[in-house]
Amino acid sequence: MKTCIVELFSYVMSAVLEFQCFSLRQSDIYRTLCLLTVTTSVILFVLYGLKFGQARSNLSFSAMLAAVLFSILVVQPLKVIIFAVIHALLLQVVYCAILNRLLYVTNKLFEIYLLSNFFSATNMVLAYCSSL
């Protein structure tokens, strides 16, 4: 039994290590692509800033900074709240349907239980009356 568990554990650990190595390679590719994208964007931003002059590049930079901050502080939290509300409403509909079905089944089972108790009590009364 112990050898089986040890073999299973070693198999799972080897699979996990293989998966981590694969995900590390993938993440390295993603990090490299992200770094290249950011570097290219910064270079283009600086070159256009030199082309348009200091005043316009300062306005461009402040507009971009305002857009990023607005997205981080306003848009993203609103998206999270809106999707959470939609998700909760959809789950509420599903849970209400499940709860209604469970209540229906519970009521039917309770009716069957009451009927079986009624018939067993009736049989006991009939047996007592017949013994008299």
Q: What is the pLDDT of residues 29-62, one digit of tens each?
A: 888 888 899 888 888 888 877 788 888 878 888 8
Q: Is the pLDDT of residue 83 over 60?
A: yes
pLDDT for position 17: 56
pLDDT for position 8: 56
Q: Which residues make Cβ contacts (< 8 Å) with residue 49, sequence separation at least 6?
A: 56, 57, 60, 61
Choose between 66 and 103: higher pLDDT: 66
Q: Is the pLDDT of residue 64 over 60?
A: yes
C-alpha 30: how far from its chain's center?
Answer: 23
Q: Which pTM was predicted?
A: 0.44
Of 57, 39, 36, 40, give the one whose Cα is nearest residue 48.
57
Of 99, 119, 118, 95, give the one whose Cα is nearest residue 107.
99
Q: What is the pLDDT of residues 86-122, one digit of tens each?
A: 888 887 777 777 877 888 888 887 777 777 776 666 6
